[in-house]
Every structure is written in structure tokens, then in C-alpha cells.
Amino acid sequence: MKYLGWLLWLLPCGLWAQEIAVDSLQKLENERIANQKRIQEIDKILIETRQKHRDNEAELRALTTQTQNVQQLTATITKEIELLGNKIITTETEIMRLEATLKEYTDEYKAMVYMASKTNNKVEKLSFLFSSESVQQLMARMEYFDQYAESRKKQIEAIKKIRDDLRAEKADLEEQKQAKQELLRQKNTERQRLSDMRSERSGMLKKLRDKEQQLMLNLEKQKQIDSKLAEVLTSAVEVSMNTPVIRRNSETQINKASFAQNKSILLWPVKQGFVSRKFGKQPHPIEPKITVDNLGIDIRTPTNEIIQTIFMGTVVIVYKVPGDIGQTIMIQHDSNYFTVYKNVKNVLVKQGQNVKLRQHIGQVQENADGISELQFQIWQQKARLNPIDWLSSY
């Protein structure tokens, strides 16, 4: 009986000790699943153009993004394996503790049964009771027999509980070992994939650098197009900032009425795609010595992907720069905020039109290589903001 209180206190400790590890494993598993989903989406988009158009800047950027995703996935799997290994050690330790406790309880129960067999004779039990020198002693001896019977009952229940817990821990251990083996298999697969992707990227980069002259011409042409577009959009903003904006609160399913209040929870302008170029200044993917300044984010999408408004507002301008591949739509939200959708085909809206949340305004235009890429910008008056800070989690 000396171990009963210790057991009842210690049994939950094995489970409690694993709660933090289980929680961390669950977070890592969720992260791994989300990353695997992103990788699958990018693979699906890349397959559309890879067979016909392979060696171009957009493909290089997409391959770089995919390489980073696979690196992150591999790192997540490594952390999962480490935590799962620790959890297996904890489970094995718990099994050893339970087995030791079970032996102690079984030995103690055997001793109780032996003692009970010596006093199980009814005549001896009655003689023991009636030999009491007082009523108080008689009551005490009767209480002793009751407590002894109750102790045996609790001992049996404790042994059953330990055996049940032991079976559960062993089953859990087997599942953990199988899960670890599966993660190790995934890690080896992703490592090989990462190696292949790095080799592919290196080869693609070499081919593209051999076309340096054409690259510089393309960069200069795009710079002129972007400069002209920025000039046109800035003029449109200046005109529109003093124009009242009609707000239709009943049309939005976003919780708050103003554009600014919905920072970090705004919808994405497309349902499928991935960020192929981030906001702001960054090295050119082919020539790192050249710095490019992206005024928004570029989103690579499947062919003919529908573009939707991220908030209600009014179309300020629909414009196409001569020489550019698609049209540009600017929408005003409230008085100070604007969203820009660049590289649009099959435009469905016109200047001055009020638009609702999630309204379709066109499709993503593909370039000469058959790649569909939307550039999305957010302006506060004339200042460009990082769209990632405004859109919901990617």
C-alpha cells in the first residue's frame, strides 16, 4: 500500500510531460501540410508552361520560390523527426516506469493474498474478534478487516489501470515509430528533390546569363513601360483623391467598413497562385548586381485565372501602356487607398464603375512565354505599400 498514493500522483505526470511535445508536433505537422499544399499548387502551375517554355526569367523565379519551399519543408520535417524521437524516448521511459510499478504492485498484491489466506479461516477470524478486551477494541478490529478488504479492492483496480495504460503506451509507441519512419522517407525524398531542383536552377541560370544583351534590352523596355504607367496612375490618383467614394457596406462580407480597418485580412485578388516576386528593391534573379524595384507583388497563376476585387470601390482608370502585354485597372477604396491590377485581359469593368467585393474584373494575361503573372499593388495616396501586409495569410 505504500506505493498507492505515489502511483495515483505519478500516473498523470507521464501524460502531462508529453503535452508540450504533442502541441509542438501538431504545429509542425500543420506547417508541413501547408507547405506541401503550396508546393503542389506551384507544381501544378509550372506544369502548364514548363514543357513548351522553360528557360526564362519567370521560370527561374518560380523555381527559386519552389526551392525555398522545399528547403522549408525539409527543415520542418527535420524538426518533426527530432521532436518525435524525443517523444519516443519519453514513451519508452514511461513504459519502463509502468512495468516497474506493475511489478511492485503485483508483488505487493501477492503478499496481501498470502496474508489473507492465513486469516481466511472464519473460526480464527471470529476468535480474533471475540478475544477483544473491550468494545472499542472489537470495533477497531472489525474496521481493520473492512479496510483490509477495501485495500485489496483498490490494489486490484490500480493493477488493472497500470496494465491498461501500459497497453496504450505500447500501442502509441508503435504508431510513433511508424510515423518517424514515414517522416524519414519523406525527408530523403525531399532532399533528393531539392538537389535536383538546385541543379536545374543552376543550369537554367547559366543559359539565361548567356543572353545578357537581350536581358538588358528587356529590362530597359520594362522600365520605360513601368515609368509611363506610374505617371498615368499618379495623375489618376491626383484627380480621384478629391472625388467622393460611394461605400456600400451591405455588399461586403469583411467585418469592418473601411479599407484601412481590414489590414491583414483582405482577400487575395486571385484564388490560385503564388508570389513569384516580392515587394520592394531586390537583386535581379539572373544578374544579382542589378537591383529591381517592384512596386507591388507579382503573382504567378494558372492560365486564364479570374481576377477579383479585394474590396468594394470605384474604378479610377483602365489603361494599357503601348508595348505592355495587358491592361491595368486601378480601383479607389475610401478616399486615400487604391488597388492596382496589372497584366489583365478580357476586362469586365470600365472607368467610373462602382464594384463590389469579390467582383470579377478580368483574367490574368499571359506573356509571350505563355506565363500568367498578375502584378498587384496597393497605394495610400501616392505611396506604394507592401500588399503582403494587407492581404490575409498566404
Enter the pTM of the model: 0.62
In a domain, 226, yes or no: no
In a domain? residue 245: yes
Of 217 and 78, more confident:
78
Identify the pLDDT of residue 55: 63
CATH number of 188's domain: 1.10.287
Please, are residues 137 and 62 in contact by the beta-carbon 8 Å criterion?
no
Are both 42 and 167 inside the same structural domain?
yes
Point out which residues pair with 373 in neighbouring strands.
Answer: 300
Q: Cell digits for 306? A: 479570374
In this predicted structure, what is the pLDDT of residue 383? 92
Q: pLDDT-based confidence at 348, cuts 50/70/90?
A: very high
Residue 120: per-residue pLDDT: 55
**Domain of 269: which CATH number?**
2.70.70.10
What pLDDT digit, counting tens, does each position of 278-300 carry?
999 988 777 777 788 899 999 99
Q: What average pLDDT is seen over the chain? A: 78
Which grid coordinates belong to 93? 521511459
Phi, psi of 256 (to 5 degrees): -110, 160
Long-range contacts of 199-203, Cβ-Cβ distance < 8 Å, separation of 24 or more: 200/63, 201/60, 201/63, 201/64, 201/67
Q: Is the confidence at residue 7, as pLDDT, over 70?
A: no
Measure the CA angle with vertex 196, ends 370 and 198; round to 5°.
75
Rounded distance between C-alpha atoms, residue 124 and residue 89, angstroms: 52
Q: Which residue has the higher pLDDT, 214 or 277?
A: 277
- 220-252 per-position pLDDT tens digit: 777 777 777 777 777 777 777 665 544 443 344
Give me the helices (H) in the chain, please. 4-50, 57-118, 122-130, 135-209, 212-240
Residue with cell 471470529: 126
Give the per-residue pLDDT at 11: 45
87-146 tens-digit pLDDT: 788 878 887 887 887 788 777 767 766 666 665 555 455 565 556 667 676 677 666 666
Confidence of residue 370 (pLDDT cuts 50, 70, 90): confident
Percent of the chain exceeding pLDDT 90 equals: 23
The Cα–Cα gap between 85 and 195 comes to 26
Q: Are residues 13 and 162 in the same domain?
A: yes
Boundary (domain end) residue, out of 174, 209, 244: 209
Q: What is the pLDDT of residues 40-77, one digit of tens each?
A: 787 777 776 665 556 677 777 777 888 888 888 888 88
Beta bridge partners, 300, equal 274, 373
Domain boundary among 209, 240, 270: 209
The secondary structure of residue 129, as a DSSP letter, is H
Q: Same domain for 236 and 307?
A: yes
Work out the pLDDT band at 374, boundaries 50, 70, 90: very high
Residue 355 has pLDDT above 50, yes or no: yes
- Asked, for residue 222, whether it belongs to a domain, the answer is no
Of 209, 243, 266, the residue at which a domain comes to its end is: 209
Spatial separation of the C-alpha atoms in residues 184 and 77, rounded to whole Å: 8
Whether the Cβ atoms of residue 218 and residue 208 lie closer than 8 Å to each other:
no
State the total domains in the chain: 2
Torsion of CA 302, 64, 30, 84, to 10 degrees: 150
pLDDT of residue 212: 64
Domain that holds residue 53: 4-209
